[in-house]
A and B are shown apart, each in its own frame.
Chain A
Amino acid sequence: MNVGSLNALIAVCLIYVIFLFGVAFAAERAAMRGKGGLLKLPLVYTLSLSVYCTAWTFYGAVGYAARSGLEYLTIYIGPSLVLFGWWWGLRKMVRIGRSQRITSIADMISSRYGKSNILAVGVTVLAVIGTTPYIALQLQSVTTSFAVFSGAPESPGTLTATALWVAAGLAVFTILFGTRNLDANERHYGVVMAIAVEAIVKLFALLAVGVFVVWGIADGPSDILNRIDNSKIANWEIQGGRWAGLIFLSAAAILCLPRMFQVMVVENENEDHLRTASWAFPAYLMIMSLFVVPIAVVGLDLLPAGANPDLFVLTLPLATGNEGLAMLSFLGGFSSATSMVIVAAIALSTMVSNHIVMPIWLSTSDGNGATISGDVRGVVLMSRRISIVVVLLLGYIYYRVSGGGTALASIGLISFTAVAQFLPVLVGGIFWRGATRLGAIAGLTVGFVLWAYCLFLPSFGPDVVLSSNLLEYGLFGFSWLRPQALFGITGLDPLIHTVFWSISLNTLAFFLVSLLSFPEPLERLQGAQFVNIFEHSSRTPTWSGGVAKSEELMVMAQRILGAREAQVLFAREAERQGLSGVLPEPNAAFLQVLERELSGSVGAATAHAMVSQIVGGASVSVQDLMAVANETAQIMEYSSQLEVKSDELERTARQLRRANEKLLQVSEQKDDFLSQVSHELRTPMTSVRAFSEILRDSEKLSEEDKRRYSGIIYNEAVRLTRLLDDLLDLNVLENGRVSLHTQEAVLKEVLDHAIETALSGSEAKLKVERSKSALILIETDLDRLGQVFINVIRNAQKYCEAESPKLSIVITEDVEQVLVDFIDNGTGIPHEAQEMIFDKFARMNPQKAGGAGLGLAICREIMQRLGGDIAYLPGQGGTAFRVTVPHRMRMAAQ
């Protein structure tokens, strides 16, 4: 080969990369227009999973097979089993990933264990350490294949230069498509499409080489089987421990590798795709591994003994002069390497920026950085770009340090073992609610220390990191601490030794510390959500937006996205729904778009919680629960308010009932009163009519009779008038229309005047005695008060049946009021009549009295008007009334 073919190779690479750019760009555009039809195919999802098959598969599997026979199959059997068993574990993981908006494996683990940032940082660091050798492996394979293809001498200088160029090119591609936009769902449509295309390229390339080998070089399958029988890998010589251990390891790896988590969980567009992938991805793996053994066997046959079996895929076509096929094969290897590096770099940069850079940045920017949306986005993107560069640089450095000499397979297995340490914590977190944060930290720490001590550090060879002395005699000279023979168990394969001890002690530490520690509230909440995900979430977290109000969403979106952007977004969505105006229907599709848009600014969880607050969420995250707790408090407050209100209503109802009873009573009283009034009026009217008839009809009446009858008529008329006067008076008083003339006077004078008036013009003798302390000043309507006094005194005069009637008036005074007691020496009023006497028309003995029985009723009305009272005073020997007069009539009495 010459410089010309090297140039051709570079040109092909560039064209291929540009083609990939085109694919990614087109996919991104389609997704932006909401048309990503191709992306919605389960096939694309399945193909994107093929990022599992890296350059290690493409080149390394053949090398592996040439060295260890069928053992390489374990690397594909493990993942096949995991995908076959999607119902058991993957289904749950993907559901959790979607409903919790998980962005990476570190996010998954930290979310499960109470959003612990320590755990996230730990997992991130470990993932970077575990992935770095793997990236180095890809750089190495691309570089060597480059060298082999171009036939350039494998001088270390050119190789490392190529590796650096490749690393830089991959960094640029990853940055361009991995961090073009910040979308908190962490979906990279362009990248997914590109790796799906690469998946086809590498499958096609390997199949092409395989077909060429089987039917071009050999004579078909039976010949291949013969060649296998005659090769050095003719017999099954695989240790049982390695066979089972590697199947376990690769099964763990497909769950735990950051890049696999990225394509399998984070980039998952639809959970149903997993079902298709559950058989289609194993099929892909099967086809990928189908021609591995034939290529290895034929390569061992044809190529010289010293040839590197890791490059048979490339060297076989070259050796037989098929440059085109070799070129295709090179592109296949290139595809495998680039897709792995791109996805791994995206996954790692997401983890680094989300869990390491952002927390630091937010804590150093005085906490006000989060409120400025544009600012945050810029920082996140920048930190991701830098992380991508750093990750690739680390891979390059590892490649330089390790010298690129180790066989591809062993590097890959070192990485697998590192990330497999996540498995206990991951699986325990999904299925066991008792798993705690401290347990997770303990398990991961134990696992990684053992991995580093037993596998990673010794892998650099004796005396590079670990001294050969230590390797041979153990740490501090303890032979049971020898890195490759822990606890004195020798003779194990170093890899299986590490896998066994690290995973089992990891699990044990995780389990024991979980048992002994107590989780924080958030941990318990998240634990319940993760473990019981199928009871908590709907199949896919879609919104049922029937109740949402577009206007409220608009208000919220404007606050976060900015007024202009929000309006544009809403108008666009409205147009898509075929509506005129700016407000779209809040259907599930729109809400998903909106939420995705928002999460770019405020983070997925926050955006989700915000939308769910307005819409009423379909799936719950911790933030939702917090919000729910908040809402619950509000509801409780509201219900307590309701309770208060209902108490109030009940009270009011009671009052109304009482008022109603009173009204009924009043109505009855009124009826009684009317009938009484009619009766009272009728008696005098009857006599007036009778005597006036006599006067009119009898002509022989003597003058004396005439005068007598006229007198009766006159008296009855007077009685009627008085009755009517009293009624009017009472009416006025009762209706409160009486106007009071307040004056100030000494009580004694009022009393004197009343006695004088009451006793004048009466023949009966009533002796009135008064207590002396009567010099009390009162302010009230004196005429009305006098009227009361007169009435009471006249009653005593009329009704006292004693031989020598006597009325004693006792005046007592206290702070607020003056009590005037009128006590005569009569027989008193029987108990049952005491309350009745104040009723209208109530008379003890109608024969004797000439009045209408309204006097005391009027008195009571007057006294109540004046702010005092009049009541019967029992137990005084005779009839006694107590008049209560306030010192100063309250204005309220008006």
Chain B
Amino acid sequence: MICWECFNYTYFETDVETLKELKTGKDGMIIQDSMFDDYNYSQGMLRDNLTDVVQYCINQNADVLDHNLENRYLNCARCGSKKVTKPYSTWTSRRHLPIEQEILKNHQEFKELRKERFNADQLPVLWKSK
């Protein structure tokens, strides 16, 4: 990801949801991370949600931008700008053939694949029981 205001490509901010545990007792209320056995569920959830948001922004790219071309989830941690996108687009008019041409080009390979599946139970016998 890159910020189009300051060209920072390292530090970003996002809002994620985590879980806290409330323990009530005679001494009052204690707020702490939620533990299941020795697994810290609060920290695990925070990391998972952060990874999810970042991967979603990387995969969706243009879909996470609003009409002002501002990212709805991430913002730059240096300048605070929300103009954060992927630094490049994977789409190019020269990289891919039209799908019809691509199918024709790979037709022989597809036929072999289907043939392989059709003859899957007729493989040559390598040994015979006496």
Do the two chains belong together in a single complex?
A: no
A-to-B contact residues, CB < 8 Å: none
Which B residues have a C-beta under 8 Å from some C-beta of A? Answer: none
